[in-house]
Structure 1
Amino acid sequence: MQPTFTGIPGRPTAPDVAVVVDVMRAFTVAAWAFRRGAEKIVFAGTQEEALELKARHPGWLAFQDGPPVPGFDLANSPVRLRSLDVRGRTVVQKTTAGTAGALAVADARLLLCASFVVAGATAEALRRARPDTVTFVVTGDGGQAEEDLACAEYIAARVGSAGTDPAPYLERARHSDAAARLAEGVRLGWAGVHSEDVAMCLEADAFPFAMAAARADGHLVLRPVRAATAA
């Protein structure tokens, strides 16, 4: 498998196999939502679209990044997610990095969304798919986010060797600009940020499922899949 690491493409593209990485915090939140029983996650291109989808579907929840926004149920904090009952629910998610990256490569034959908590299962899904090439989309900081690149490189390494040690990759993420910004947000008392968010984003291989996105009913929809069936 030949990996390629890139930022979010400026125009929609369709690589054969794509892994979109957002560690802090979109796809950590998504993974935790599935771990807590959410049925599916619908990606929205704008906040207005997200709120419109929520309004049309009673019982759906809406998540966004940044400070809390009226009408949204969560500001993308994995820790604060623990106070929500998401069992059996559909979540609409809109973020400036993770969901934007997924929508930019929405027509890939196989589209996986990843963070450290599902890295091992994502690598297993790629191993079973056996693609010649994989495009890793590093979504943060214009494709330069160290935490996302570290996670992408860890997944790529795990495809070749299941025994790859996550520690060096987690250390890079721990000292990333994104981790520093979240810590500063805690210090400044930003709403929607929790002091334990970074730690929850740095739990490698916590869950046994990958997350695959595909078009359904006119939207890009993310679902958890066992690695054996992700391909």
Structure 2
Amino acid sequence: MDARFLGIAELDETPAVAVVVDVMRAFTVAALAFGQGAEKIVLAGSPDEALALKARHPDWVALKDGPRAAGFDAVNSPGLLRSVDLGGRTVVQKTTAGTVGALAVKEASLVLCASFVVAGATARLLRTRACGSVTFVVTGDDGHAEEDLACAHYIARRAAGAATDAAGFLRRAGESRAAVELARGVRLGAHPDDVALCLELDRFPFAMVAAPEDSLMVLRPHAVPGRSQKTDTP
């Protein structure tokens, strides 16, 4: 598999297959939302779009980065999201990096959104689809976020069929600037458990596929049969 690792600003063309990585915290939050029963996630392009969608659909759950804000039901924190009832509901998500990255590659034939909690299933889906060329969109820190790079490198190795020890990749992510800032309470709208939840490898058995639906970019879980071990082999 030919893998490229690019920041959002480095995307010079629409890739055929894109894996958009945001470990801390957008796509950990998205996976947790599905784990709590959410039906789908609408990826919003701006806070105003998220609020407009919420206004048209009052039963939808709108969330964003940072502290709580008027009109939004939740914040982009896996720890804080655990207390929100999401059974059968639609979530509208707007974040600084993750949703921006997914919308940047919305024309790709396959768009996956990923983090460590769905890493194994994401890799298995790439193998199942026999994807020869994959662009990993590293969303954080202008493409240099160590936690996103570590996750992208890990998924790429597993997608290529290599037995891979996750420990080093998780260590890189746990020592990243984002992890340190979350642990120290520098970032608003956070929970003390956020870092640990973001580093929980292969918690969920599904990948997350984003595709256009009625002019919106919608993320849904996609079950991927296969091994659940931390080190997949061909």
Superposition TM-score tier, normalisation by shorter sequence: over 0.9
Q: Which residue, 188, 211, 214 being the options, matches 2:211? A: 214
RMSD, aligned CA: 1.4
Residue 184 (structure 1) shift: 2.2
SS at match of 1:79: helix
TM-score, structure 1 as length reference? 0.94
Q: Which residue, 198, 201, 204 being the options, matches 1:201? A: 198
CA distance in 1 between counterparts of 2:218 and 2:9 reads 20
> Where do 1:27-176 residues align within 5 Å?
27-161=27-161, 163-176=163-176
The answer to whether the Cα contact below 8 Å between 1:74 and 1:192 also exists between their aligned partners in 2 is no
Indicate yes or no: 2:17 matched with 1:17.
yes
Residue 163 (structure 1) shift: 3.3
Residue 73 (structure 1) shift: 1.3
SS at match of 1:210: strand
Deviations 1:37-82 (A, max 9, x none): 0000001110010011011012100010122211111111101111
Q: Percent identity?
A: 63
The answer to whether the Cα contact below 8 Å between 1:63 and 1:92 also exists between their aligned partners in 2 is yes
1:127 and 1:137, CA in 2 relative to 1: closer, same or farther beyond 3 A?
same
1:73 and 1:16, CA in 2 relative to 1: closer, same or farther beyond 3 A?
same
1:54 and 1:13, CA in 2 relative to 1: closer, same or farther beyond 3 A?
farther
Residue 159 (structure 1) shift: 1.1
1:224 and 1:14, CA in 2 relative to 1: closer, same or farther beyond 3 A?
same
Residue 226 (structure 1) shift: 1.0
CA distance in 2 between counterparts of 1:2 and 1:11 reads 16
CA distance in 2 between counterparts of 1:47 and 1:10 reads 24
The answer to whether the Cα contact below 8 Å between 1:78 and 1:200 also exists between their aligned partners in 2 is yes
The answer to whether the Cα contact below 8 Å between 1:12 and 1:103 also exists between their aligned partners in 2 is no
Q: Which stretches of structure 1, 4 residues or longer, exceed 3 Å deviation after superposition?
A: 9-13
Deviations 1:184-214 (A, max 9, x none): 22xx6x6521111000000011110000000
SS at match of 2:67: coil
Deviations 1:124-181 (A, max 9, x none): 0000111111000000000000000000000001112363111110000000000011
Residue 227 (structure 1) shift: 2.0
CA distance in 2 between counterparts of 1:87 and 1:163 reads 36
Q: What letter corresponds to residue 208 of structure 2 in structure 1?
A: M
Residue 177 of structure 2 corresponds to 177
CA distance in 2 between counterparts of 1:73 and 1:57 reads 13
Q: What letter corresponds to residue 106 of structure 1 in structure 2?
A: K
1:13 and 1:220, CA in 2 relative to 1: closer, same or farther beyond 3 A?
farther
CA distance in 2 between counterparts of 1:53 and 1:164 reads 41
CA distance in 1 between counterparts of 2:13 and 2:58 reads 33
